[in-house]
Amino acid sequence: MNGEPTFIEKMLLWAFLAGAGGAVKFIGGMLRSPENISRRRFVAMLVANMVISGFAGLIGALLMSTVTPDPTWQNIAAGIIGYLGTQGLDLIALGVQRKLSIAPPAVSSVIPVPASMDPAAKTKSDTIGA
């Protein structure tokens, strides 16, 4: 063995980093929230967030592995996209959709920004004259 991790080992590391990113975001949100929840519900929601974040981060790291062979960037992508969770998947989906389609999709359909700030968003006045 040359010390290079196998692909499975890389994927496990990415999922762990992404799950940790999701746990950090969830726990941070719970600490800022005035809501009191039971310990059982907290653990269930934490595990669910870690699974969702693990998947999101794994997709992000796989995407980054197509950009660069550097494992540091792949690990960073796993953690950041894991922290973002489903928002990270939405951003990846937006990028893929823009890459594959002729007309760019509206960013406001993915990220909570006002449609007035999104040049690809259609407004009612745009569609009335069409």
Other beta carbons less than 10 A from residue 54's beta carbon: 24
pLDDT score recorded for residue 41: 92
Residues of the chain with pLDDT under 50: 124, 127, 130
φ, ψ of residue 11 to 5 degrees: the values are -65, -40
**pLDDT, tens digit, for every residue of 87-107?**
888 888 888 887 887 666 666
Residue ranges of domains in the chain: 7-128
Other CB atoms closer than 10 Å to residue 73's CB: what's the count?
14
Geometric angle at alpha carbon 21, from 86 and 59, rounded to 5°: 50
Angle, helix 71-84 to helix 7-32, in steps of 10 degrees: 40
Alpha-carbon distance values, 19 to 7, 9, 54, 68, 114 (Å)? 18, 15, 4, 22, 30
pTM for the whole thing? Answer: 0.71
- Amino acid letter, 96: V
Question: In whole angstroms, how far apart are CA 64 and each of 44, 53, 61, 85, 103?
Answer: 30, 16, 5, 16, 25
**pLDDT at residue 130 in the model:** 46
